[in-house]
Amino acid sequence: MTPERRLSLVYAAILLAAAAINYVPGLTDADGRAFGIFALDPFDDALHLASALWALAAALVSSRAARLFLVLFGAAYLGDGLCGLLTGWGYLDFGIFTNPSLGASLAPLRIAANLPHLGLGSVALVAGLVRAGRS
């Protein structure tokens, strides 16, 4: 199995875990925030589940499909994380379309809330582009 296919499988597992966070007792606080940071709703869970299934399908289909997943997923999630830093809301859950901008912020809580999308998006995008350049 190629590295991009393995990485896509890792992403499938991570995204499945993200979709399950709200349903594991003790991981959400009284306000429904996972780890006291993330306000995930059923739409977010569906987005994570769909992304996990996309990652799994790409890993099972081919190296090319896995690279395409990594690049497209990476760009989408990285952009969503940057949007979250700039406005307080992401676009993947339509938050920027339904909420007024909170303005740009590098406050620790804002960074923590967007770090998963920034990190996962960056790693996927770089890995997909590097692997695509070697093929």
**Distance in angstroms (rounded) separating the CA atoms of residues 81 and 98:** 17
| Structural domain boundaries, residue 13 | 3-134
Whether the CB-CB separation of 97 and 88 falls below 8 Å is answered with no
**Per residue in 5-47, pLDDT tens?**
999 999 999 999 999 887 877 777 777 777 777 777 888 889 9
Residue 59 in tokens:
């890993």
> Residue 71: what pLDDT?
98
Task: For 45-89, write each residue's pLDDT tens digit.
Answer: 899 999 999 999 999 999 999 999 999 999 999 999 999 999 999
Count of other CB atoms within 10 angstroms of residue 26: 5
The total of structural domains in the chain comes to 1
Asked if 28 contacts 34 with a C-beta cutoff of 8 angstroms, the reply is: yes
- Render pLDDT for 102-128 as a digit per residue (tens, 0 to 9): 999 999 999 999 999 999 999 999 999
Question: Which pTM does this prediction carry?
Answer: 0.89
